């Protein structure tokens, strides 16, 4: 269901980064790479760190 919702959002502003997470790209402070092709997204003005699954990592290769 989230994949269907994500398809309705503007891809220039939102990206699905995990099977249960869609993020506003303007809210991203920075990303960090981990071992084994993993990554995490840090948000502006938030303490939460969001996982990026391998399935969606290609959106964030430039990190």
Burial annotation 35-50 (CB, 10 A radius, 16+ → b, else e) = eeeebbbeeeeeeeeb
Q: Which of 9, 1, 6 is nearest to 56 (CA)?
A: 6
Better-predicted residue by pLDDT, 36 or 10: 10
pTM for the model stands at 0.79
- Token pair, residue 30, equals 């920075």
61 — pLDDT class (breaks 50, 70, 90): low
Q: Which domain holds residue 31?
A: 2-60
Q: Which of 37, 2, 34, 42 is nearest to 18 (CA)?
A: 2
Q: What's the domain count of the chain?
A: 1
Q: What is the pLDDT of residues 23-41, one digit of tens each?
A: 999 999 999 888 887 889 9
- Token pair, residue 51, equals 């996982």
């Amino acid at each position: 269901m989230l994949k269907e919702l994500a398809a309705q959002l503007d891809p220039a502003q939102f990206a699905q980064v995990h099977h249960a997470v869609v993020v506003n790209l303007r809210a991203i402070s920075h990303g960090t790479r981990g071992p084994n092709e993993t990554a995490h997204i840090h948000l502006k003005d938030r303490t939460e760190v969001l996982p990026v699954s391998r399935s969606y990592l290609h959106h964030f290769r430039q990190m």
